Amino acid sequence: MNQKLPKYLAGSVLLALSLNVSAEEITVSAAASLKEAFGEIAAQYQQKYPDAKINLNTAASGVLLQQIAQGAPADVFASADEATMDKAAAQNLIQANTRKTFAHNSLVLITPKNSSLHITKPADLLNNAVRHVAVGKPESVPAGAYTKAALTQQNVWDALQSKVVYTQNVRQALDYVTRGEADAGFVYRTDAVLQQSRLNIAATVPTVKPVSYPLAVVAASTHKAEAQRFVQYVLSANGQNVLRKYGFSKP
C-alpha cells in the first residue's frame, strides 16, 4: 500500500536527490607544466561551484594521451602542444568542437645556480666541459619535441646526442638541473621561474612552432556538462589571471 510522504520529508528527499545528481567529480588530465596553475584554478573553481570536485592528474602530455587512449578515466585533457592534441583528435578521443587554445609559453635553456660553465646559447653545450644535458623525451614530452626541433634548426641536435639525458617529463629535466645532476637542460620559462633561486636562465630558445597549450573535453567523459564548465572557467578572466600569475601568456 502506497502512502504519501509528509511534505517536509518529501522536500528533504528531493533536495538530497538534486544534490546527488548535481555533485559531479571530474578528472582533469593536464601537462606536467600546468600542475601549479591548474591546481589553483581547480581550487578557485571548487570554491565557486561547491557541488563540483576536480581530480587533477598531471604527467607528460604524451603519457596522458596514452592513458586516455587506454580507457583511463578523464573528462578534460590539457596538452602542452597542439601536436599531441591533434593525435587525440585523430583517434576521436576528444570532442573536437570543445578544443580551445588557452595559453602560450616559451622554451628556455637553464643551468644550475652555481654553474661555472659559460653557457649563453645552445651551441655552447657542445663544449667538452658540458657532460649532461636534460631533455624530455621528444616522443612523449612536448618540451622535448620543441627542443629537438629548435636545436635541429640550429644544427646542434645531432652533435649533442652523446650528452643528452632523456627525462619522463619537463619537471624531471628541471629537477636534474636544480640538483646539479645535469650541466644544463631545456624547460619552459614557467617551470624555470618556479625554481629561479636554484638555477640560471641562460637563454630563451626560439621554437619552430609556438609553445601552445590546447584543452578539450574528452569524448568518453560521462560528465561532459561539468567538463565543459571547467573548460570555460579556464578560458574565463579568472582562469586566465591565474595562468598569467604563473607566467603563461595569452594565446
What is the per-residue pLDDT for 23?
56
Please give the annotated binding residues, written as ranges.
33, 61, 143, 170, 188
- In a shared domain, residues 111 and 198: yes
What is the per-residue pLDDT for 16?
39
| Domain at 100, CATH number | 3.40.190.10
- In a shared domain, residues 86 and 173: no
Q: Is residue 1 part of a domain?
A: no
- In a shared domain, residues 170 and 220: no
Q: Is residue 10 part of a domain?
A: no
Q: Is residue 126 part of a domain?
A: yes
- In a shared domain, residues 149 and 114: yes
DSSP string for residues in 186-214: EEEHHHHHHTTTSEEEEEEEPPSS-EEEE
Q: Is residue 150 part of a domain?
A: yes
- In a shared domain, residues 73 and 155: no
- In a shared domain, residues 190 and 219: no
Q: Is residue 4 part of a domain?
A: no
Contacts of 184 (CB under 8 A, 6+ apart): 109, 110, 111, 115, 117, 119, 125, 130, 132, 133, 134, 177, 202
Determine the Cα–Cα distance for residues 239 and 251; give it in Å rounded to an integer.
13
- In a shared domain, residues 116 and 165: yes
- In a shared domain, residues 53 and 86: yes
Please give the annotated binding residues for molybdate, written as ranges.
33, 61, 143, 170, 188
Domain count, the chain: 2
- In a shared domain, residues 96 and 125: no
- In a shared domain, residues 186 and 216: no
What is the per-residue pLDDT for 24?
82
Range of the domain at 194: 107-204
Q: Is residue 123 part of a domain?
A: yes
- In a shared domain, residues 93 and 130: no
Q: Is residue 20 part of a domain?
A: no
List of the chain residues with pLDDT < 50: 1-21
